[in-house]
Structure 1
Amino acid sequence: MRKVILTILTVIIAIVACFTALAGTWKSDSNGWWYDEGNGSYPKNTWSWIDGNDDGVSECYYFNENGYCLINTITPDNYYVNPSGAWVENGIVQTKDTGVSAGTEALDSVDVVSGSNKTSSKSDNSNSNKKNMLESDPEISYQFFDNSEYITLSGDNWKGGAYFYTSDWYPESYAEFYLGKKYKKLTIKATPFTKNYRYSMGVKTELIVSNAETEEVLFTKEITETTKKFTIEADVTDVDYIRFDYRMTYRGESVVPAGSLLIKDAILTM
């Protein structure tokens, strides 16, 4: 019996030692961050679940063809990764309980389920005279994200809103929403996203709101990091689809410039 127990313990120790030996390490050079798996290999052209701080919870990262982690951008398969490189859906970092940290695991080897609490704007049958446009998903969008962070700016909490993101690499963002010619007025609260390095000093951006079908401009404003909270107001009478174009017009002197715009309370009135 002792021999059996000793054998089992020996196997367990060997397994643990193996995990320890293969545990990876984040490393960086002048080109960016990559993940050394501890066995002479590193992920590239793939998603990988990594428990970088050994807390039993892994985040998911995308590595390019050279093995560098993409950060604060859209991956080739159209998912958003935050400034830390972690995969984010609906403003929430996606995680996976791993129990034991042992290098990386490919994304396609697990089932990942993520959903949205929003509805299609075309399926909205509400009879209310008012509606928050942000409660519906955009028909199309690029670099436009939900905001689930508790952020206080200009005396307001912007959690539950959304934001347009631009940078040196991605100078344009946009979103289109379906209104169905049911509303007359749209008002939205907006402010430059000056926290968490989301808006760099010297950067200039421009917001244009238009009728997506006729291209008639309904609202336009130039924005800098000193711009105060403002209200977007637009006459949306007979507008079927409304489009928001947000772009960086001047990059300033920052090494990696960014210029994001927070919005919330997008109230449509009949």
Structure 2
Amino acid sequence: MKKLFFAPLLLGLTALGSTCVYAGGWQRDSVGWWYSLDNGGYYRNAWFYDYDPDCYDSKWYYFNDDGYMVSNQWVGDYYLGSDGAMYTSRTTPDGYYVSYTGAWMRNTNNLVGLTGKFRFYFNSGSVNILEWDGDVLHIGGYIYRAATNENLGYTEDWVGIEDGSSLYLRTGDGDTKVSKDVFKSAVEMRLQRLDQGESIILEVHNGKIINACLCTNAS
């Protein structure tokens, strides 16, 4: 019988899938992965922070009641991916955004699960586009369903731009298709000086941006 070891934190040796070579630590049997400790024990019902300075890699893992690494599921407000590592700064497979700390960003009104075109309007002089985190936009404003102009109320949400998204800038001369970096830069320029009538049109699928247009004048 393996000894049990309860601990919330321990500096480890390796992250799964790394190209570095390590001695000891991670073990695998017919059930799954577990982590062997020097004293013969192992993690159970515990978080484990696995850090390797040589590979500049660090990840959080969670081990269940039987001592095996958890994958493809939520543990509290944190999601563990297929490799067991905790998600950070990305959208989970079921459409929820987690911050750089890994915590689920809870919102009372958001785009999770929505599919369709939506237009955001912003109040003049206020900080409504809050920040970028990688390719994910932290956005806030009044949202309208584009087809019917139905006011869905104020929302604050994190929305990710998918690879292959069609991104446009709209001016009086029409729409110009731009790269992700150009679109992000244009949005960042308006983080604290949005004008009355400016808007962003987002086409989302299950809460993820697949098309977007930044309208720099009323249209």
Shared fold by TM > 0.5? no
TM-score (normalizing by structure 1): 0.33
> Which fold has the larger relative contact order, with Cα–Cα distance below 8 Å and residues 6 or more apart in sequence?
1
TM-score (normalizing by structure 2): 0.39
Structure holding more helix per residue: 1
